[in-house]
């Protein structure tokens, strides 16, 4: 009987290592079909899950309350499973090089608890070669087992889009790969239990690893192109959104828009590609240039704010600036690699400490990671400038009266509105008489 068949009959378990924005939804999805152990080093996170709280908002508290996932921070529980999915983050260091410590640490934990006949599948984003050249030796060293003989490995890059309730785990095609035909077949069958639209069987583990970093690098480059246009059009006094709207009337327009590019994927993955390319003697030109452009957008927005303050005859250092949104994207509590922080730091360079409002973000995390004290929107008043940085639904639903109440008691022409996400209609803003700028 194959491992897949034993899993289906609940004679063997699946273990998910790392229960964040990626691992937790995977664990919950599999638990609807088979027996699942959910492991994370963070005991506080495990306690939240056990109490029925979903801090990621990816599946919701109700789903967490009724799931059969066996949440644990005890690594020895992994010995009960034979199919391991590693879904830990792979960030970058301050010098933009890959930080593989989370995936190396997870490999050590799995290795210490690995038993014969197991399959280990990595989902963490890495550059080609990491799974076989870095993770396998750690698994072998910690377990005393031999890869290919005592256990098998595979790679299946995560494609979950945090905060997206349309493109979900179940309806996004899953790339899967294995070290050989047998492991590929087993891994594919296991994932097909929860992936309704099916899987794509990659030719090798390295192909699957490359596909992940490339798909995000492609998006990064396209957004960088739009951001460069936005910076040029700003000098030309041309509305970028009007240009994009006109351009998109053509059937083959790609429909990308300018914006802040942060988060744990698009803002990070290209550096993994660049790192490995440079190790092989190739200096990336397009990918790295795109990253530099996108990494500069926070400062560009910050400078635009200062310019508008000056034009409105404001005393820059005494101006009250309120930023709406801190997370890296709308309708998610995820603040990892948020580029809104770059706007905040740019303003700090001018001696301004902006007020930041974000009901979606975790206040403790904002303070710990960025030194930002979040405030409630009902505490905001007397603002000189509002910066809509993240298009949370709660911000988009604000009425004009609610927006106007956030400002000080002065003429509308002195009220500055910076629309980073371009959610407002320009004619509506002009009708209100605000000083308006959008990316």
Structural domain boundaries in the chain: 3-202, 204-295, 296-439
Q: CA–CA distance from 301 to each of 183, 226, 295, 310, 388 (Å)?
A: 49, 14, 12, 14, 11
The owner of tokens 């004619």 is 427
Paired tokens of 151: 């256990």
d(CA 217, CA 271): 9
Reduced to 3 states, what is the DSSP secondary structure of residue 16? strand
Q: What is the pLDDT of residue 163?
A: 65
Is-contact 123 99, C-beta < 8 A? no
Q: What is the pLDDT of residue 56?
A: 86
d(CA 303, CA 300): 5
d(CA 260, CA 247): 21
Is the domain spanning 204-295 CATH 1.10.1040.10? The answer is: yes
Task: Identify each DSSP E strand in 195-254 by its residue range.
Answer: 199-201
Is-contact 322 357, C-beta < 8 A? yes
Q: Is 296-439 in the same CATH topology as 3-202?
A: yes
Q: Which CATH number fits domain 296-439: 3.30.465.10, 3.40.50.2000, 3.30.360.10, 3.40.50.720?
A: 3.40.50.720
| Pairing label, strands 321-324, 355-357 | parallel
d(CA 179, CA 208): 11
Active site residue 147: no
Is the domain spanning 3-202 CATH 2.130.10.10? The answer is: no
Is-contact 134 163, C-beta < 8 A? no
Is-contact 415 381, C-beta < 8 A? no
Q: Would you list the DSSP string of 134-160?
A: IIHHHHHHHH---BTTTEEEEE-----
The secondary element (H helix, E strand) that includes residue 70 is strand 70-72
Is-contact 2 22, C-beta < 8 A? no
Paired tokens of 120: 């280990």
Is-contact 386 308, C-beta < 8 A? no
Question: Which of 135, 147, 265, 385 is an active site residue?
Answer: 265
**Cα 337 from chain centroid (whole Å):** 8
- The DSSP letter of residue 166 is S
The owner of tokens 């879904």 is 87
Q: What is the pLDDT of residue 141?
A: 98
Residues contacting residue 99 through CB under 8 Å, at least 6 positions apart? 90, 91, 92, 93
- Taking alpha carbons only, the member of 167, 248, 172, 177 closest to residue 207 is 177
Average pLDDT for runs of 10 along the chain of length 439: 94 96 94 97 95 90 95 97 96 91 98 98 95 98 97 93 72 95 97 95 97 93 96 95 94 93 86 91 92 95 95 92 95 91 96 95 91 94 96 93 91 92 87 90
> Beta partners for 152?
119
Is-contact 187 116, C-beta < 8 A? no
């Amino acid at each position: 009987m194959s491992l897949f068949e034993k899993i289906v009959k609940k004679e063997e378990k699946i273990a998910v290592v790392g229960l964040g924005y990626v691992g937790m939804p995977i664990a919950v999805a599999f638990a609807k079909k088979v027996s699942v152990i959910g492991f994370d080093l963070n005991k506080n996170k495990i306690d939240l899950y056990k109490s029925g709280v979903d801090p990621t908002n990816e599946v919701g508290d109700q789903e967490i309350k009724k799931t059969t996932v066996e949440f644990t921070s005890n690594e020895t529980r992994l010995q009960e499973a034979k199919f391991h999915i590693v879904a830990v983050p792979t960030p970058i260091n301050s010098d933009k090089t890959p930080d593989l410590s989370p995936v190396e640490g997870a490999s050590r934990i799995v290795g210490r608890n690995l038993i014969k006949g197991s399959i280990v599948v990595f989902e963490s984003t890495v550059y080609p070669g990491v799974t076989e050249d870095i993770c396998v030796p750690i698994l072998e060293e910690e377990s005393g087992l031999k890869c290919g003989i005592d256990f098998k490995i595979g790679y299946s890059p995560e494609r979950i889009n945090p905060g997206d309730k349309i493109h979900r785990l179940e309806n996004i095609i899953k790339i899967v790969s294995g070290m050989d035909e047998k492991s590929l077949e087993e891994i594919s069958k296991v994932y097909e239990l929860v992936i309704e639209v099916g899987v794509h069987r990659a030719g090798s583990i390295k192909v699957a690893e490359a596909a992940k970093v490339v798909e995000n690098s492609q998006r990064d480059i396209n957004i960088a192109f739009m951001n460069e246009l936005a910076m040029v059009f700003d000098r030309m006094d041309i509305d970028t959104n009007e240009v994009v709207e006109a351009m998109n009337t053509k059937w083959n327009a790609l429909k990308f828009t300018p914006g802040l590019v942060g988060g744990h994927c698009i803002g990070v993955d290209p550096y993994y590609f660049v790192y490995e390319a440079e190790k092989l003697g190739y200096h990336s030109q397009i990918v790295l240039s795109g990253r530099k452009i996108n990494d500069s957008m926070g400062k560009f927005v910050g400078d635009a704010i200062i310019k508008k303050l000056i034009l409105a005859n404001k005393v820059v250092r005494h101006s009250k600036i309120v930023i709406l949104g801190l997370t890296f994207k709308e309708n998610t509590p995820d603040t990892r690699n948020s580029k809104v922080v770059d706007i905040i730091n740019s303003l700090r360079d001018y001696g301004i400490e902006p007020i930041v409002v974000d009901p979606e973000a975790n206040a403790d995390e904002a303070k710990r990671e960025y030194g930002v004290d979040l405030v409630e929107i009902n505490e905001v008043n007397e603002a000189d400038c509002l910066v809509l940085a993240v298009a949370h639904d709660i911000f988009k639903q604000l009425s004009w009266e609610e927006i106007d109440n956030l400002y000080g008691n002065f003429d509308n022409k002195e009220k500055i509105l910076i629309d980073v996400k371009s959610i407002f209609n320009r004619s509506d803003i002009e009708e209100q008489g605000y000083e308006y700028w959008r990316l």
